[in-house]
Amino acid sequence: MAEIEKLKIPYPVIVEGKYDRLRLISVIDAQIYTTDGFGVFSKGEKLALFRALSEKTPIILLTDSDGAGKLIRSHIASSIPREKLIQLYIPQIKGKEKRKAEPSKEGTLGVEGMERELLRSIFAPYAEGIGVDGYLQSLENPLSKADFYRDGLSGRDDSAKKRDELAKKLSLPSGMTANALLAALKLLLTYEEYLEKVKEL
């Protein structure tokens, strides 16, 4: 398999397990920490470490797109200031990791099963020397909850369905809350790009 140039990521990265970490090591040059799966719920020192890191630098969080990944993501996100957390997402792709005998409960691939080029594209906006820093760009993005309400992405009976439609267009997982989708869009799109995507719904 051809070698790909690693991206240098200046921010610490959090993933669920050791196999996710090994996969990322082949794609990025960064400090990579694991939650030990659900271990982050019982090991207070893990969360304390992540909090301490967030006091010094923004942190990137990348979990699987299944139910377990969402629980872990929510637990960490509730413990770290929103403006210091960069939440990245992998698309929901059906399949099974080679090392596993059975597919996951939801039948989708986790971080360890993602193609390296796909992972590289997810991290590229935060790499040193590549364009505008995605984190700084997100801080300047005026997209807000008011936009979501105006565009029917929150506060309506069909808002969850509309969020899922928009998430699918951007290869984001389904079932995202309004807050989670808003944070992701501020990182992924400019305000003008958001307006164009909403028109397509």
pLDDT band at 67 (very low <50, low <70, confident <90, very high): confident
Domain locations in the chain as residue ranges: 8-132, 141-199
Q: Which tens digits make up the pLDDT trace of 112-124?
A: 999 999 999 999 9
pLDDT band at 134 (very low <50, low <70, confident <90, very high): low
At residue 40, φ and ψ (nearest 5 deg) are -65, -20
Q: In terms of DSSP H, where are the helices of 26-144?
A: 39-42, 44-56, 67-77, 116-123, 134-140
Residue range 8-132 in CATH 3.40.1360.10: yes
CB 36 within 8 A of CB 17: yes
Mean per-residue pLDDT for 152-172? 92
Mean per-residue pLDDT for 137-148? 87
The average confidence (pLDDT) of the chain is 88
pTM of the model: 0.72
Question: Is the pLDDT at 5 greater than 50, yes or no?
Answer: yes
Q: Which tens digits make up the pLDDT trace of 81-113?
A: 988 999 999 988 888 777 776 767 777 889 999
Judging by DSSP bridges, how do beta strands 59-62 and 13-15 pair with one another? parallel
